[in-house]
Structure 1
Amino acid sequence: MKINKQSLEEQAADYLRHKIVKGEMDQGEKIVESTLAKDLELSRSTVRMALNTLSHEGLVVQKPYAGWHIFSLDEDDLWELYNLRVALESQAAAMAAEKASEADKQALRALYQEYCELCVSSPKEMQAISQADFNLHRKIVEVSGSKRMDKIYSQIANQLQSYLSITHQDYDLTQSALSHEAMIDAICAGDQEKAWLEAKANITPVTLQCQSLKDNQ
């Protein structure tokens, strides 16, 4: 028998996190504790603890006199996330180019190849492609060898996944993986400067993200 060692609070947080990141709950959507507790067959205190966990991850917010809501990204949020991505991912790519072992390079190329194959086989699966995009960048941060950078990146990882979904809404998904090729090649070649430049170039300009956000409101 497989025993689930997670607490009910952790299971509830995982359930909600998955639905929010995958776009199954709308940005700004109101969450009613009592309704959610009934749907999940949990106590309101357990649900509240799960929501508090997600609030620390930036996925939900508690508004005075209005209760809990799914986070939403406005133009200022996109500007901030864009600049965080540039700072973290560009530097991570340069550090990965310096630090990557042969095993790391093989792992990066394997993830990149899976990403390419997904774009060819399932070009309309936006969520799956966005996830593959995030997984590749997440791996680069890991390969950078910086525990502090990895920790900081983890703190905004869920919002970054939502951010990536927005950037993919008006993009030719068949080209999503290919746009990362020069960056992966630079990292594997140990070219720190080019890796930094290619990582920055790979990030969609914030003006395009803001327009995409407006078009989908």
Structure 2
Amino acid sequence: MARRDTRYREAYNRLLDFCATHAVGTDIPSETALCDMTGVSRTVVRRCLSRMAELELIAWNGREKHLLRAPVAEDRIALPDSADGREHLEQRFLDWVLRFDVPAGTPLSIAELARNFEVAQHDLKEFLAGLSRFGLVARRPQGGWMLRGFTKDFAVELSDFRLVLELDAVSKAVEAPVDHPIWPRLATLRNAHQNLSAQIETDFHEFSKLDEAFHEALNSVVRNRFIAEFQKVISLIFHYHYMWDKTHEKERNLAAINEHLAIIDAIEARDLQRATDAARKHLQTSKSTLLSSLRHHDLG
């Protein structure tokens, strides 16, 4: 389902909720007021009004609009899976932040962001409330939200926390039973890394996807509800940083491939010390690359 269609459906249902709280004959507010109420454009509002007029919910003649009957359940439009919407919003918002479109400390306009990201305002507020625990956004003392931004300090703290989480994952992978799903996944990842290494001259830009798959597989051995959300944000941020600085990209990606293979070798050998040393080396390299990317954008 197209994002704009989702916005239309949400706005339409919200207008039905508004009508349900008013008596038949009540005047419908102006299009501008309805835009503010629903967080969508005038074009979307007019589309909603057209449907409501077709269903004889309202009478609409120019600027004059009034309610003809109370809405019923059959008037509503089904919405897409909300989980898909949240995932899409998360990706778009992080893309916006991590591409440095706005500086740290910028106040956030809920109405404007809702229009830009094509989501309902209440969904955006819930998303920001959840994201605030990662330190990228914060509530303003005077009300509303502020972008704290992706800064050098944030990158250092995130990298250090990632080190703690992934070293724990490495230790659990080394100790995993023989029938654990991690073993076939590591075998598949080994082949994928070797294939990409052989094609590095032309396909080096494919590494970011492989890196994401590698770290996701590694962290999958840890079953902890508190860690899962942090891992998702960490994965997105480190995935994005490969797109920031293209300097020596091929050489950096080839080096990272070899570091991944060293970790796989050590885990498969159930050599905890070697696996820990290899993981620590790789994560330090990743941290250095991230900080280099920030300097490339004059943020570090």
Q: Give TM-score, length-normalised by structure 2.
A: 0.56
Q: Distance in 2 between matches of 1:64 and 1:26?
A: 27
Q: Distance in 1 between matches of 2:226 and 2:192?
A: 26
Q: Is the 8 A contact 2:97 2:149 kept in 1?
A: no
Matched, 1:92 2:173: no
Report the equivalent of 1:6. Answer: 81
Q: Is the 8 A contact 2:174 2:272 kept in 1?
A: yes
Q: Distance in 1 between matches of 2:89 and 2:216?
A: 21
Q: Is the 8 A contact 1:61 1:71 kept in 2?
A: yes
Aligned-residue offset at 1:96: 0.5
Deviations 1:61-89 (A, max 9, x none): 44445854555332222221222222221
**Can you give the 5+ residue segments of structure 2 that lack an aligned partner in the other structure?**
1-77
**Can you give the 5+ residue segments of structure 1 that lack an aligned partner in the other structure?**
none
Matched, 1:189 2:264: no
Deviates more, 1:89-98 or 1:18-27: 18-27
Report the equivalent of 1:78. Answer: 155
- 121, 126, 132: which is aligned to 1:49? 126
- 266, 278, 282: which is aligned to 1:202? 282
Label 1:173 to 1:164 Cα distance change in 2 as closer, same or farther (>3 A): same
Deviations 1:150-193 (A, max 9, x none): 63253243134313543673442244322211110111111111
Q: Is the 8 A contact 1:130 1:161 kept in 2?
A: no
Q: Which one has the largest radius of gyration?
A: 2
Higher relative contact order (CA 8 A, sep 6+): 1
Q: Distance in 2 between matches of 1:158 and 1:87?
A: 15
Matched, 1:16 2:93: no
Label 1:68 to 1:93 Cα distance change in 2 as closer, same or farther (>3 A): same
Matched, 1:108 2:203: no
Report the equivalent of 1:152. Answer: 227
Superposed CA RMSD in Å reads 3.3
Q: Distance in 1 between matches of 2:153 and 2:120?
A: 36
Report the equivalent of 2:115. Answer: 38
Amino acid corresponding to residue 275 of structure 2 in structure 1: A
Q: Distance in 1 between matches of 2:148 and 2:256?
A: 26
Q: Distance in 2 between matches of 1:59 and 1:130?
A: 23
Q: Distance in 2 between matches of 1:73 and 1:38?
A: 23
Label 1:140 to 1:81 Cα distance change in 2 as closer, same or farther (>3 A): same
Deviates more, 1:182-191 or 1:153-162: 153-162
Aligned-residue offset at 1:132: 2.5
Aligned-residue offset at 1:199: 0.6
Label 1:107 to 1:71 Cα distance change in 2 as closer, same or farther (>3 A): farther
Q: Give secondary structure in 2 for the equivalent of 1:154.
A: helix
